[in-house]
């Protein structure tokens, strides 16, 4: 069982920044494709960003492209989501997810991921 623990959520004004972090103790973290999803009240969970197991490839939802950056640290076994220029519509619970080999497809589908964190709340005020 892979445990994922998110942190870094909170309340921020529109235009501000937050940095989310997802930590795991999994021994084979370096083989995982990692993703971030979010779910707003009354809405379905939606894809935010994904980073390959090498760290060399990233993929973003159009709604966050240019504002959010996903990165990973192999030594710390963490995946971060730097969120800049936040908007009220970014308000949601943000979830970290791990896709273990064999990797799922498509990369933006929640069904492609095998393990999930408990989520962290991000609230952006206008």
pLDDT one digit per residue (tens) for the chain, 126 residues: 889 999 999 999 999 999 999 999 888 999 999 999 999 999 999 999 999 999 999 999 999 999 999 999 999 999 999 999 999 999 999 999 999 988 888 989 999 999 999 999 999 999
d(CA 78, CA 32): 11
d(CA 55, CA 40): 28
User: pLDDT at position 51, please?
Assistant: 97
User: pLDDT at position 107, please?
Assistant: 86
User: pLDDT at position 77, please?
Assistant: 95
User: pLDDT at position 84, please?
Assistant: 98
User: pLDDT at position 53, please?
Assistant: 93
User: pLDDT at position 1, please?
Assistant: 83
d(CA 101, CA 119): 23
Q: Nearest 5°: phi and psi at 89?
A: -70, -5
């Amino acid at each position: 069982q892979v445990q994922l623990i998110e942190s870094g959520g909170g309340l921020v004004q529109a235009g501000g920044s937050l940095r989310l972090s997802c930590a795991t103790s999994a021994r084979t973290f370096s083989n995982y494709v990692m993703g971030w999803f979010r779910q707003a009240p009354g809405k379905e969970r939606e894809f935010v960003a994904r980073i390959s197991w090498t760290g060399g490839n990233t993929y973003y939802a159009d709604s966050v492209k240019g504002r959010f950056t996903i990165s990973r640290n192999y030594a710390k076994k963490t995946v971060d989501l730097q969120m800049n220029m936040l908007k009220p519509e970014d308000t949601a619970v943000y979830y970290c997810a791990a896709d273990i080999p064999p990797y799922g497809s498509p990369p933006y589908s929640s069904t492609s991921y095998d393990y999930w964190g408990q989520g962290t709340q991000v609230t952006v005020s206008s």
